[in-house]
Amino acid sequence: MGSEHTNTVPSPTLTRNWAPEPEKIVSGLSFTVDTDKMLSLAIQISAGMLESGAEIHRVEDTLSRICRAYGAKEVQAFSIPSLVAATITMPDGYHKTEIYRVSSISNRYDILENLNALSRRICARPIPLDELEADILKAKTPDCRPRWLLTLCGIAAAAGFTLFFGGDWRDAIAALPVGALITLLDLFKPKKLHALAFTVLVSVAAGLLCILTYASGLACHMDKVMIGGIMLLIPGLSFGSSIRELLCGDIIAGCLRMIQALLTAICIAAGFAVAVVMGGWF
C-alpha cells in the first residue's frame, strides 16, 4: 500500500503595518505612552494656540516638538486658520493621522501664554498623559476679568481714538456710550451668531448711536465719534497676522487671514453706511 502524501497549504498570515499595542514604554521616559492619546493631546494644545491667535508656523512647530518629545520618529504637521492636522511615525513603524477642525479664532493671549508655557515644559521634561490632559484644561481656562473693567477699557479707548483723530472734548464725551455699547455687545455676543453678521449688527447699532449723539447736540463732529467707535471694531491684529504669515512663507494661511480681515472691514463699513442711511444723514 503506497503511502499517501498530503499537500498542505500554509494558512495565510495576516500582517499589519502598525504596532498591535500603541501603548508602550518610550525610550528615555519612565511611563507608558498611548500614542493615539498623545497625538490627540498634542493637537489639542496646537489647536488651542491657533484659536487664541497664534501664528501658523508656531502652531506647527509646537505640534512637532511635543510629538518628538514623546518619542515620535517623524512628524508631519500642517495647519491653516481653520484646521490642524498631523501624521506621526513611531520608531517601531506605528503611524497615526489626526485632524482637528478649528471653528473660530480670537485674540486670547492669556490662554496662548499658558499653552506656550505648557508646551515648553513638556519639551523640557515630558509628563504622563493623564497629567498633561488635566494641565491642558487648566491652561485653556481664561482669566476671569470683570466685565465692568472691560467695559471701562472700551469706553476709554473710544474716547481716546476720538480725540486722536481730531475730535474735541464734546466728541470724546459723546463717544463714551458708543464704546460702552460696542463692548457690552461683544461681551454678550450669542455664540451661534456668525461673526460677520454680528459685526454688521454692532456697526449698525453703533452708527445709530453716533447719529443720536450728534442730533442731540452732544457731539460737534459726528464723523469723529464714528471713527472712535470704528477703531474698536477694526481687525488690526488679524491683518497684521496675515502680513506676518505671508512674510514667514505661509501663503495659504496669510491669504485666508487677510481675506477674513478684509471681509470684517467691509462689514464694518456696510454697517455704518446702513446706519447713516437709516438716520437720514447723507
| Nearest C-alpha neighbor of 164 from the set 235, 225, 206, 240 | 225
- What confidence tier does 171 reach under pLDDT thresholds 50, 70, 90? very high
Q: Measured between alpha carbons, how far is 161 from 181 in angstroms, rounded to an integer?
A: 16
Reduced 3-state DSSP string for the chain: CCCCCCCCCCCCCCCCCCCCCCEEECCCCCCEEEHHHHHHHHHHHHHHHHHCCCCHHHHHHHHHHHHHHCCCCEEEEEEECCEEEEEEECCCCCEEEEEEECCCCCCCHHHHHHHHHHHHHHHHCCCCHHHHHHHHHHHCCCCCCCHHHHHHHHHHHHHHHHHHCCCCHHHHHHHHHHHHHHHHHHHCCCCCCCHHHHHHHHHHHHHHHHHHHHHCCCCCCHHHHHHHHHCCCCCHHHHHHHHHHHHCCCHHHHHHHHHHHHHHHHHHHHHHHHHHHHHCCC
The pLDDT assigned to 281 comes to: 58
- What confidence tier does 245 reach under pLDDT thresholds 50, 70, 90? confident
- What confidence tier does 20 reach under pLDDT thresholds 50, 70, 90? very low
- Mean pLDDT throughout 158-176? 93
The pLDDT assigned to 29 comes to: 66
pLDDT tens digit string along 92-150?
889 899 999 998 888 888 899 999 999 999 999 999 999 999 999 999 887 777 888 98
> In one letter, which amino acid is 110?
D
- What predicted TM-score, i.e. pTM, was given to this entire model? 0.78
| Nearest C-alpha neighbor of 186 from the set 206, 202, 204 | 202
- What confidence tier does 248 reach under pLDDT thresholds 50, 70, 90? confident
Q: Which residues pair with 87 in a beta bridge?
A: 76, 97
- Mean pLDDT throughout 227-239? 90
The pLDDT assigned to 178 comes to: 94
- What confidence tier does 241 reach under pLDDT thresholds 50, 70, 90? confident
Q: Measured between alpha carbons, how far is 9 from 65 in angstroms, rounded to an integer?
A: 49
| Nearest C-alpha neighbor of 173 from the set 137, 131, 216 | 216
Enumerate the domain spans of the chain: 23-139, 147-279
Does residue 6 surpass a pLDDT of 80?
no
The pLDDT assigned to 26 comes to: 56
Ramachandran angles phi, psi of 20, nearest 5°: -70, -25
Does residue 9 surpass a pLDDT of 60?
no
Does residue 238 surpass a pLDDT of 90?
no
- Mean pLDDT throughout 65-75? 92
| Nearest C-alpha neighbor of 53 from the set 273, 245, 247 | 245
- Mean pLDDT throughout 148-160? 93
- What confidence tier does 7 reach under pLDDT thresholds 50, 70, 90? very low
- Mean pLDDT throughout 151-159? 94
The pLDDT assigned to 24 comes to: 54
Does residue 23 surpass a pLDDT of 90?
no
**Between these two residues, 3 and 67, which has the higher pLDDT value?**
67
